[in-house]
Chain A
Amino acid sequence: MIDALKPREIPITELSKAICSAKGVKEVDVVVTEVDVKTETVKITIIGQNIDFDEVAKIIAQNSVAIRSVDQVVVRRTRRVV
């Protein structure tokens, strides 16, 4: 779960679609939690396996969104079936 700040002109629909194109991402949930004159605070929840966080961060930055903090991470160790 990422806490981020974005310009109001960037629609969350397009932001979520862009994040969804990153490797390993299965689901993206973006919620606007605070609205300011020029900016909006958003909570981005990304679900998937082996998510490439650097790629996600790059996509988020390219979309003019600043990551303020990473608030929650869920990691599961999976057993490889032989």
Chain B
Amino acid sequence: MKGLESSAMSLRLVKMKERLRSLKRNLSDFERMLRISGVLEICRRYFVMNMFDGALAALGVIMGMWVSGIADSSAVVKTTLSAGLAMFISGASGAYLTEKAERERKLRELEEAIFQDMRGTIYERSSRLAVLVVSMIDGISPLMACAILMTPFALSRALATDFATAALASLLIGTAMLGTLGYFLSRIAGKKPLEYMTFMALTGIASAIVIVLLGLHT
């Protein structure tokens, strides 16, 4: 009886090892395809660009509602999330179509240069993966920015904070987020972070000031 149990256990262990090995192989294949498609560099660019867009749009919505006198936290949450979702759909679908068109053209040109059908090869699979990854990054980054910036309003009832405090917290989080993006960019450029961080944070503050001034004069 014990012998049967131990052999079943060892069979299970072998199966688990096989599964782990296949997972490792799939992960290394995935990494290889990402490297071949050169998608990481594109994603980096899209991520910063779209998160910046999302953060400024969310800040615009929040500040705009504040200066318009619509001091309703749930309205801010709904509006910011709607804007984020719209940016997700437009970013993901736009990037999917443009990246797909570009990759298909590149694949066709390569097929003509090599005189070989590329269907099913690692190059073609990498291209398809790149399209998906790029479109997801393009869509998720602005949505993420909107979701982070609306958090103070979503928590305002639980934390019993007023609208102005939530708006200020959101502005501070937005500025910090833009500063972090600036830091990220400075690491990519290999330059000192202060210049990039200041520029990005100032952009957020400047847009907030413009919206407040607009609200005061209209």
- Decide: A62 near B121, CB < 8 A? Known: A5-B114, A36-B113: yes
Q: Is A7 an interface residue (CB 8 A)?
A: yes
- The answer to whether B38 and A9 touch across the interface, beta carbons within 8 angstroms, is yes
Q: How many A-B residue pairs have CB under 8 A?
A: 41
A74 to B110, CA, bound (A): 32
One of A5, A36, A38, A64 near B121 (C-beta < 8 A): A64
Q: Is A51 an interface residue (CB 8 A)?
A: no
Q: Is A10 an interface residue (CB 8 A)?
A: yes
Binary per-residue interface labels of chain B (26-41) against chain A in the complex, 1 for a CB within 8 Å, 0 otherwise: 0000001000111000
- Decide: A63 near B113, CB < 8 A? Known: A9-B36, A10-B36, A14-B32: no
Q: Is A39 an interface residue (CB 8 A)?
A: yes
Q: Taking CB as reference atom, which chain B residue is nearest A4?
A: B114
Main secondary structure of the interface of B (DSSP, over half): helix
- The answer to whether B116 and A38 touch across the interface, beta carbons within 8 angstroms, is no
Q: What are the residues of chain B within 8 A of A61 when measuring CB–CB?
A: 116, 121
Q: Is A66 an interface residue (CB 8 A)?
A: yes
8 Å CB interface, A2-60 against B: 5-7, 9-10, 14, 36, 38-39
- The answer to whether A38 and B113 touch across the interface, beta carbons within 8 angstroms, is yes
Chain A residues in the interface with B (C-beta under 8 A): 5-7, 9-10, 14, 36, 38-39, 61-64, 66
The 4 A-B pairs at the shortest CB distance, nearest first, are namely A64-B123, A66-B116, A64-B121, A66-B114
Q: List 5 A-B contacts (CB under 8 A).
A: A5-B113, A7-B110, A9-B123, A38-B113, A62-B121
